[in-house]
A and B are shown apart, each in its own frame.
Chain A
Amino acid sequence: MLSRVADSLFWIGRMIDRAENIARLADAARRIEALPGEGPEPNTEWRSTLISAGLRDSDLVDLEEVSRAAKPIVDL
Chain B
Amino acid sequence: MGIGGPFFDEMRQGADLRECYQTVAEWLNRVSLSELHIKRAEAENLFRRIGITFAVYGEGGDPERLIPFDLVPRVFAAAEWERLERGVLQRTQALNMFIADVYGAQEALKAGIVPSDIILNNSAYLPQMQGVVPPGGVIAQIVGTDLVRTAEDEFFVREDNCRTPSGVSYMLENRQIMQRLFPELFSTGQVRPVSDYPGQLRQTLAELAPPKCTGTPTIVVLTPGHFNSAYYEHSFIADEMGVQLVVGSDLYVEDNLVYMRTTLGPQRVDVIYRRIDDDFMDPLAFRPDSTLGVPGIFEAYKNGGVTLANAPGTGIADDKAIYHFIPQLIQFYMGEEAIIPNVPTLRCALEDERAEALSKMDELVFKEVHGSGGYGMLIGPKATKDEIAAYRARSEADPGDFIAQPTLALSTSPTLGEEAGVPRHIDFRPFALLGAKPRLVPGGLTRVALREGSLVVNSSQGGGVKDTWILKK
Chain A residues proximal to chain B, CB less than 8 Å: 1-4, 6
Contact = CB atoms under 8 A, between A and B. Distances in A.
Contacts of B261: 2-4
Given A2-B260, A2-B262, 11 more contacts: A1-B263, A1-B264, A2-B246, A2-B250, A2-B261, A3-B250, A3-B262, A3-B263, A4-B247, A4-B250, A6-B263
A4 B262 CA distance: 8
B61 to A, nearest CB: 28
A3 B249 CA distance: 10
A2 B244 contact: yes
Nearest to B265: A3
Interface of B: 244, 246-247, 249-250, 260-264
B249 A4 contact: yes
A18 B354 CA distance: 70
B288 to A, nearest CB: 24
A10 to B, nearest CB: 11
Contacts of A4: 247, 249-250, 261
Nearest to B260: A2
B181 to A, nearest CB: 33
Most chain B CB atoms below 10 A, which of A1, A2, A6: A2
A7 to B, nearest CB: 9
Q: Report, nearest first, the 7 A-B pairs whose CB atoms are least far apart.
A: A3-B261, A1-B263, A6-B263, A2-B250, A4-B250, A2-B262, A3-B263
8 contacts: A1-B263, A1-B264, A2-B244, A2-B246, A2-B261, A2-B262, A3-B250, A4-B249
A4 B250 CA distance: 7
B293 to A, nearest CB: 16
Nearest to A1: B263
Contacts of B262: 1-3
Contacts of A2: 244, 246, 250, 260-263
B286 to A, nearest CB: 23
A1 B244 CA distance: 8
Contacts of B246: 2
Contacts of B247: 4
A24 to B, nearest CB: 31
A1 B246 CA distance: 11
A64 B407 CA distance: 73
A1 B245 CA distance: 11
A3 B260 CA distance: 9
A37 B246 CA distance: 59
A1 B261 CA distance: 9
A42 B244 CA distance: 56
A11 to B, nearest CB: 15
Contacts of A1: 262-264
A29 B249 CA distance: 44
A2 B218 CA distance: 14
Nearest to A6: B263
A2 B247 CA distance: 10
A2 B459 CA distance: 34
A49 B82 CA distance: 72
Contacts of B260: 2
Nearest to B264: A1
A23 B111 CA distance: 75
A14 B250 CA distance: 22
A17 to B, nearest CB: 21
A6 B265 CA distance: 12
A1 B263 CA distance: 6
A4 B244 CA distance: 11
A70 to B, nearest CB: 39
Contacts of A3: 250, 261-263
A60 B291 CA distance: 35
Most chain A CB atoms below 10 A, which of B249, B262, B264: B262
Contacts of B250: 2-4
A60 B249 CA distance: 35
B197 to A, nearest CB: 24
A52 B462 CA distance: 53
Contacts of B263: 1-3, 6
A75 to B, nearest CB: 29
